Amino acid sequence: MDYKQLIIDSGKEMMSKSLTVSTWGNISARDFETGYIYLTPSGMDYSTCTTDDILVYDKDGKLVEGHRKPSIEKDMHVKIFQSRPDVGAVIHTHPTYSMVFSVLNWNVPAVTEEFAQLIGKEVRCAEYYLPGTLELADSVVKALGEGMATLCVSHGAVCVGNDMKHAFNISTVLEKACQIYYMAKSIGDPVIIADKDVEIMQNFLKTQYGQ
């Protein structure tokens, strides 16, 4: 697989799905065979980036290839990969409704079935630290745990997946759930799916859903 091209295409997809604005947000992917991490550069337009702009790091976060400044959240991506051997892709987005709950420092519970199936019981907020700091990276890793997403207070969302398609699915489902939760709370008390039912649905997704 051409991981550099994957990062380029994913940056364009992130913009087309309105998961971020301008040059904010960042994306990474891991080659499970080599352990190399492919990362977006800092402050570059996703529509004009080329494969020459993508940076490559080893599992310890040491530069292997690339001449651009890396995303300010490079350490966050590296630390997630180090803590989660199952993760093949990380997407840090700034979408509107996810941002609403990050600004409120509110965890997002399982309010939709797709959220319950793909993400689980809730998405927790990571403790606030300045962007690009090791403290933020550690906070995100802690809040993420074994889950699929976390919210960075006043900052955005971080979603992971075993591959890029999976990570985008998580990001899309999270943003939709945040929108629904916001709208539901504005007119009433949303029903939260019980933990036991979340577990049943996740097991169904893993063992029975699909062909």
Positions marked active-site: 73
Q: Do the strands 55-57 and 63-65 form a parallel or antiparallel pair, or are they unpaired?
A: antiparallel
Q: Do the strands 122-126 and 149-152 form a parallel or antiparallel pair, or are they unpaired?
A: parallel
Q: How many helices (H) and strands (E) does the chain have?
A: 7, 9
Buried b (16+ CB within 10 A) or exposed e, 182-200: beeeeeeeeeebeeeebee
Cα–Cα dist 211/199, whole Å: 21
- How far CA 158 is from CA of 43, 76, 143, 187, 189, in Å, comes to 18, 10, 10, 28, 27
DSSP-assigned states of every residue in 53-78? G-EEE-TTS-EEE--SPBPTTHHHHH
